[in-house]
Structure 1
Amino acid sequence: MAGHNKWSQIKRKKGALDAKRSKIFTKLIKEITVAAKVGGPDPENNPRLRLAIQLSKAANMPKDNIERAIQKGEGTGGDFSDVTYEGYASNGVALFIECLTDNINRTVQNLRTIFNKGNGSLATNGSVEFLFDRKGVFVVKRNPEQPLDEEELTLELADGGAGEVEEDHITVYCAMEDFGAMQKKAEELQLDLENAELQRIPQTTVTVQDPEAVRRILRLLDALEDDDDVQKVYHNLELNEEVMAALE
């Protein structure tokens, strides 16, 4: 009987992982489709598409899925629109949400419902955006068998437009307008990238000490990220070690 229960737990866990992967694929396919529609099907001349393909490969998306998404972008493109929304979670935590949608009314209604259930609120455009800086973020994988000369790497990346390099994690930041140049520089150096994307980095953060309040905020973030129209959610919540320990 115990074995049966264990197998049931494994199946439930696998089902949850499969569902999560399916949602990740759905979001990536949308991004590839729109990128191909806006900038053309050739990734060499389309930085947004090149990045979307890189992220899809990193997520182990089958090549056929990527090619079909590009072909769809060459056609109607699925009539998706890039839209953004701003809001607040409880305790004054700011949220910036990027969406790709073919039905803005549906997206707004879904977000409003999620915010209401999560004790948050949608805000007007411009209420939150100024709290974030748009930057390129590149995370370089470490390979123990091929150690990097980090001083030389930092100098090379600076030539590509890197404004800041966190050596502990080899995380590289650059201005949004330098993102394409940094992509090409990373390719020239044949760096094994764990991630490369444009992110919204908070200028200041909000620390919430009450563990239950943090749980509510995290549940709201999860619900937003789980929505099919939502591509990315940025926030300025700072989780210190004390709060993280209380959540465990």
Structure 2
Amino acid sequence: MGVILLFLAGLALYAGWWLSHQRLMAKPWLEEGVIGEFPGGGGLSASPAKIGLGVFLAVAGSLFALLISAYVVRMGMLDWRPLPVPPLLWFNTGVLVLSSVTLQWALAAARRGDHDGMVTGVLCAGVSAVVFLIGQLLAWWQLIAAGYVVAGNPASSFFYLVTAIHGLHLLGGLVALGRTIAKLWRGADLPTLRLSVELCATYWHFLLLVWLMLLGLLAGWTVAFLDVCSRLISG
């Protein structure tokens, strides 16, 4: 249960940060000046696309929370045999961090109106994401070659399940990123490009947060950390 609470707390912090930048809680009647002359004065500043993404992230976060809950419950049973964490996962994690950072860079370029910076950041993010997915497949191949097949034991099954679901979410993000690249190629207007890059960056940061949580769980760090915290609180 502690792992789930930690995961949900992380998502809540991220959601709070994201919402704080959308002015969804703005009170225009308390603002001074003419309506429409301040941010949020013409209505909700969050576009339908942002609200839709927020709803999707809430649903996806709930799915990963359920998976993590099932993982924690199952690992307490006698037939659970932990898998060794392939060293390649650390490289993959670095690549995913790079992908998230470059998208944030592209977003900063979009806010400055720097078209070349947007193109560079988005392309680097896309390439890094593809490298991450290829690295995940190679990690699967290493485990299968070592005898850790999908049906070998519950730990193996859960490893392939959670990494596959995370990979599918990232693959869906690549589709959205491809549409953003197409808009850049067609020379869409700056507000449209800024919105597309912002949505992709928000989604990428979410996937990075989820992956770090999953990696900590697979490596045993998350459970060990919570055990230490529990002992400190009780002792």
TM-score (norm 1): 0.26
Q: More relative contact order in 1 or in 2 (CA 8 Å, sep 6+)?
A: 2
Give the number of the structure whose residues are more often helix, by fraction. 2
